[in-house]
Amino acid sequence: MTGRHPVPQTLAAAVAIAVVAVATVLAAPAEAADPSERIEGVLISVAHALGDDAFAEEGHASDQDLIVTDDGALIPVELPVGVEVEAGSHVETVAAAGSAELIASLTQDAADPAGEPSVEAHEEVQLESVQVVAQAPVARDGASHRAFVVTVDDDTTGTDVPVAEAVDATEMALDYWVDETDGAIGDFTVADSRTLTPGSQCPSYLSLWNQALGLYPHVDFFGGTDHLIVYTPGDCDYEYAGIASVGGRLDGGVVHVASNEHHTIVHELGHNLSLMHSNLRYLEDGAWKAHEYFGLFGPMSGSVSPDFAPGAVGASQRYFLGLPGAREGTEHMLIEMGMGDTRTVTLSPVYADSGTTAVRLLDAATGETFFVEYRAGAGKDADTFYQFASTISGIRFDGGLVRYGPGVVVSQHSDDGAVSVLTSLSGTGRWDAVQREGTTLVDEFDRFSITGGAATSEAVEVTITTGGPNPSPFGAEIAWLRDNGITSNWADGTFRPRGHVTRDAMVTFLYRLSGEPAVTLPRRSPFSDVTPDNTEFYKEIVWAHQQGISSGWARGGGFEFRPESRITRDAMAAFLYRYAGATETATGADSFKDVSRRSSEFYDEIAWMASAGISTGWKDGTFRPLDHVTREAMAAFLFRLAA
């Protein structure tokens, strides 16, 4: 768990006594459950920080999933490899043989309900199968949220948080989220407040939550918009400032506040609403360094002293939550290597109510998303730490000095809601977490570059270039394709090597490779979705059918060709196999580790591709049969086939 630590030595003396209140997300409380092989309930996604030093070299978060059963038990589970389920979904699961016994290790002594529950650390139920019974409900815009506040009465300490103080602190945090969500949360009120007298001094968060949940047996904190917030005495020595469960978009959840500070409460409620941490990344010695919490922009970073405000929610997380206005205020750019695109965009501050407040970059090849936003250090960000940090030299990490302040922020967004602020190395050897006028951040793979421009408190100009020159490794094969008339460039003179091949284009390439033979067209098209009037490559598709290269899909008493669908790698193998008149049946060991006779419809065809030297697969030994074929890969396959 990540604790409270001194601010790095590079901070000015004015904040030398400040401490970093790092809020950590962990699993919700565990209770006894029947150790059967079937587990049914709501899946909750959580995370916890590894290690006990917020300034460790690596500060990554580790995902953890739990199932909240109908009777309130919370069971840590590990999903089967390759299975992804949206948090908040209702699931029915089957535990792997023997692993269900682990559930029994999460028990509360019935004779001592206030005592510490018995928990085996890091043990989780291995799931053999998962079936989603119902998708996570999507919170409607304007939904009401409620907070249930519990304070701990501990006779052994004089630092209890008074109920009135806890309610006031909670209401301030609730007001923050109502304001920041722009109507997605209609109202957020304290529904009830109570005092809990625990059975032991400074009990663990598991024990706290077990007892506090018992105060509200009829409130569902994991299936709606209700939040349980437990405050403990200030001198209890917890290793974190706050801890919370994470559910689906704008969900409820449970929170333990160990440090009664505004940023901490706001941060933990952000986890309930499905947001994860704002982190920092910079490149050193050819490897990316990650520092959790230190993307010091917005509420999901770590808190540096109660003197600083949490700041506005960032562009990527606003987009992730689908907040009103987030998509309207976002401009989109597609990253396609070899397809350069340069734009100069005027960005309003991320917290502005109008104008373009973000640019979203989508990598067409990988699906990765990046956001560009403007942090002006004014408005909702006027009292944040990053705005103050512009007056000091920077914060030192692992020998590298990172500079914060107002400017253009570039971040990478993860599917789980986490954000990584990207940095660039300045000419003076400092890492910049923001781009100012004249500074440029260049992606490590040269996919994009972002240059800061003239800025005011109201707007900044930023120049973004995507998809810069990146020669294809199959340049010779592409040139052969062009020289032999098998394909021509697009109207703009590009080949678009990483674009995808459609099914009608694939048969057209094969038709041209065969020398464009004469085709006797039938009176009636062999495919219900292909006619001379609606299909550019009708003749080529008919030829492919007549040659037995494609039979299409049976549908409604006929067959469909689906000409504009992207062709997958396994279907491409089948087309080439039939075109070549191959009849081989694979024997012996599998050619690729992800292709077997049991799993692949076109096993023989893919094995033939390997034996004929047409495909060597990927470096990891896979063929990836369901991936779509890129234009450059298609050029290589046809070149080798012709040879």
- pLDDT digits over 395-423, tens only? 887 767 899 999 999 999 887 678 999 99
- Give yes or no for residue 58 having a pLDDT over 60: no
Mean pLDDT of 365-394: 91
pLDDT digits (tens, 9 = 90+) for 283-322: 666 667 778 889 999 999 988 888 999 999 999 999 999 9
Considering only CA atoms, which of 382, 421, 423, 408 is closest in space to residue 461?
408
Cα-Cα end-to-end distance for the chain: 60
Mean pLDDT of 159-184: 96
pLDDT class of 172 with cuts at 50, 70, 90? very high
CA distance 169 to 164: 9
Mean pLDDT of 345-370: 92
Mean pLDDT of 413-442: 87
Q: Are 290 and 58 in contact (CB under 8 A)?
A: yes
Please state, rounded to an integer, the average pLDDT across all residues of the chain: 82
pLDDT digits (tens, 9 = 90+) for 154-167: 877 789 999 999 99
pLDDT class of 62 with cuts at 50, 70, 90? very low
- Give yes or no for residue 207 having a pLDDT over 60: yes
- The secondary structure of the chain in percent helix, strand, coil, rounded to multiples of 5, reads 20, 30, 50
Q: Are 198 and 208 in contact (CB under 8 A)?
A: yes
pLDDT class of 492 with cuts at 50, 70, 90? low
Dihedral (CA of 332, 337, 343, 345) sign: positive
- Give yes or no for residue 114 having a pLDDT over 90: no
Considering only CA atoms, which of 429, 428, 432, 475 is closest in space to residue 450?
432
- Give yes or no for residue 115 having a pLDDT over 80: no
Mean pLDDT of 592-619: 89
- Give yes or no for residue 474 having a pLDDT over 60: yes
In the structure encoding, which two tokens stand for residue 67, read together?
A: 């199932």
In the structure encoding, which two tokens stand for residue 39, read together?
A: 């587990």
pLDDT class of 18 with cuts at 50, 70, 90? very low
- Give yes or no for residue 228 having a pLDDT over 90: yes
- Give yes or no for residue 1 having a pLDDT over 50: no
Sheet holding 440-442, edge to edge: 341-347, 460-466, 448-455, 440-442
Q: What is the percent of the chain with per-residue pLDDT over 70, rounded to a whole number?
A: 84
pTM: 0.67
Residue 319 neighbours by CB under 8 Å, 6+ apart: 326, 327, 330, 358, 360, 371, 413
pLDDT class of 123 with cuts at 50, 70, 90? low
CA distance 513 to 642: 8
Considering only CA atoms, which of 340, 364, 333 is closest in space to residue 628?
364
Residue 428 neighbours by CB under 8 Å, 6+ apart: none
pLDDT digits (tens, 9 = 90+) for 607-640: 999 999 999 888 888 899 888 898 889 999 999 9
Mean pLDDT of 158-186: 95
Q: Are 344 and 351 in contact (CB under 8 A)?
A: no
User: Helices 503-513 and 631-642, interaxial angle, to 10°?
Assistant: 30
Mean pLDDT of 3-15: 29
